[in-house]
Amino acid sequence: MKPGDPQAVRELFEAIAPRYDQLNDWLSFGLHRLWKRQAALWLRPRPGQCLIDLCCGTGDLALVLAGKVRPSGQVLGLDAAAAPLQVAAARAARQPWLPLQWRQGDALASGLPSQSFDGAVMAYGLRNLADPAEGLRELRRLLRPGGRAAVLDFNRPDPSAPAGALAAAFQRLYLRRLVVPTARLFDLPEQYAYLEASLERFPSGAEQERLARRAGFSWVRHRPLAAGQMGLLQLLA
């Protein structure tokens, strides 16, 4: 599978959607929920705000945000794949009081009006886009002045940085010895072997900061999480 190929990425998430949440819990020991809450905290969601979750997947982060902006706010979850959105809609149906909408669309060209949202999140989506720089530009376009955005994803450790070589070696070991063998139990080894290949083309934290500034964000900071294995890009429009 070629990293960044829109059709291949969409087919991947169509295939793994029914088991995606369970696999995430297993592979991160449940910590992905904590990291996503850290992303949500950066947004400082308040009742009445309009927020968007780009590459929303099965909707766990959108559900958290919707609980913060109710009753008069709104959260839109957008994803390129239909199957994850179906899972998200089924989860939301169990909490009908949450102000949620779902839409299938491209995070590089959402077709939504400019400056429509007070805040935005993207969890484990930027790495899969054909052009991460364009993804950040679209993210900036959608935000109102002063809006906040959080981009959560794997971090690509810099081997030349202090402790970077060790972090990179640990990440390879984690992906090859834990992620792929676990995914094999679900008959999804090839889909999760894609993770390592996708990281090879993914911008480092410092590169993400530079791309975000070029996209027009007024303030940017990339925070390593989980001993440098994950990263949270915090942005102000």
Q: Is residue 213 part of a domain?
A: yes
- Res. 30 pLDDT band, cuts 50 70 90: confident
Q: Is residue 190 part of a domain?
A: no
Per-residue confidence (pLDDT) for residue 4, from 0 to 100: 62
Kindly tell me if the per-residue pLDDT of 150 is higher than 80. yes
> How many Å apart are CA 43 and CA 227, to the nearest integer?
23
Per-residue confidence (pLDDT) for residue 15, from 0 to 100: 76
Kindly tell me if the per-residue pLDDT of 2 is higher than 70. no
pLDDT tens across 170-214, in order?
777 777 777 767 777 767 667 667 777 778 888 999 999 999 999
> How many Å apart are CA 50 and CA 45, to the nearest integer?
9
Task: Say which CATH number the domain at 146 has.
Answer: 3.40.50.150
Kindly tell me if the per-residue pLDDT of 158 is higher than 60. yes
> How many Å apart are CA 53 and CA 84, to the nearest integer?
13
Q: Is residue 164 part of a domain?
A: no
Kindly tell me if the per-residue pLDDT of 153 is higher than 90. yes
Q: Is residue 151 part of a domain?
A: yes
Overall number of domains in the chain: 1
Q: Is residue 178 part of a domain?
A: no
Higher-confidence position of 5 and 14: 14
Average pLDDT score over residue span 51-59: 96
**Degrees (nearest 5) of the Cα angle 184, 186, 190?**
50
Per-residue confidence (pLDDT) for residue 169, from 0 to 100: 74
Percent of the chain with pLDDT over 90: 63
Domain hosting residue 153, numbered range: 6-158+198-236
Q: Is residue 171 part of a domain?
A: no
Cβ atoms < 10 Å from Cβ of 18: 14
Q: Is residue 103 part of a domain?
A: yes
- Annotate the chain with three-state secondary structure: CCCCCHHHHHHHHHHHHHHHHHHHHHHHCCHHHHHHHHHHHHHCCCCCCEEEEECCCCCHHHHHHHHHHCCCCEEEEEECCHHHHHHHHHHHHCCCCCCEEEEECECCECCCCCCCEEEEEEECCHHHCCCHHHHHHHHHHHEEEEEEEEEEEECCCCCCCCCHHHHHHHHHHHHHHHHHHHHHHCCCHHHHHHHHHHHHCCCCHHHHHHHHHHCCCCEEEEEEECCCCEEEEEEEC
Contacts of 135 (CB under 8 A, 6+ apart): 54, 107, 108, 122, 125, 126, 129
